[in-house]
Amino acid sequence: MLALLMGLAVAAAPAPQSGDAVVGRWKTPVHNGIVEIARCGTSICGKIVSSDKLRTNPNLADAQNSDKALRNRRLMNLQILSGFKQQGAGWYGGKIYNAEDGKTYSAEVTMTGNDQLNLRGCVFKPFCRTQTWTRVR
């Protein structure tokens, strides 16, 4: 799950405020993916801004999408995180789109430090996987 994205923290900067701690660019553990998380109203959303595959082919399409009508859309800047509600220091009830298999999963985002977050994606609980993403500065 999330293989396209899974796959530099640099100089330290001041920690963002609690609700906005997830805002910024994050490196995923596979394919050197970079996801930019931003505020979207009262929620957060995230888009793919880079990966090893996108650096090789910036026009890479969403070829595995389960909806055939969407298979020609570009992965670059594709929104993959949406629908989260903040609860305490975490974001819950959201969705993550996995371009590797063309499916959408339920998701949670929690900070594990100033420069790390855990993203948990679930087919349905308890069938979940958690990834640690690292802030890019």
Element (H or E) spanning 54, and its range?
helix 52-56
Nearby residues of 108 by Cβ (< 8 Å), 6 or more positions away? 90, 91, 92, 93, 94, 118, 119, 120
Q: Scan for tokens 């996108």, then name that residue.
A: 54
CATH code of the region 24-135:
2.40.128.520
Q: What integer pLDDT is reported at residue 126 of this predicted model?
A: 86
CB 46 within 8 A of CB 81: yes
15, pLDDT greater than 50:
no
Q: Scan for tokens 């305490």, then name that residue.
A: 88
Domain ranges of the chain: 24-135
Instruction: Give the tens place of pLDDT for each residue, 24-65.
Output: 999 999 899 999 999 999 999 999 999 999 999 999 999 999
Instruction: Give the tens place of pLDDT for each residue, 72-111.
Output: 999 999 999 999 999 988 999 999 999 999 999 999 999 9
Please state, as a whole number, how many other Cβ atoms lie within 10 Å of the Cβ of residue 136: 17
Tell me the residue ranges of DSSP E strands in the chain.
24-27, 34-40, 43-50, 79-82, 85-87, 90-98, 103-113, 116-124, 127-136
Q: What integer pLDDT is reported at residue 119 of this predicted model?
A: 97
Please give the mean pLDDT across all residues of the chain. Answer: 88
Length of the chain (residues): 137
Choice between 120 and 18, residue whose per-residue pLDDT is larger: 120
127, pLDDT greater than 80:
yes
Q: What integer pLDDT is reported at residue 18 of this predicted model?
A: 58
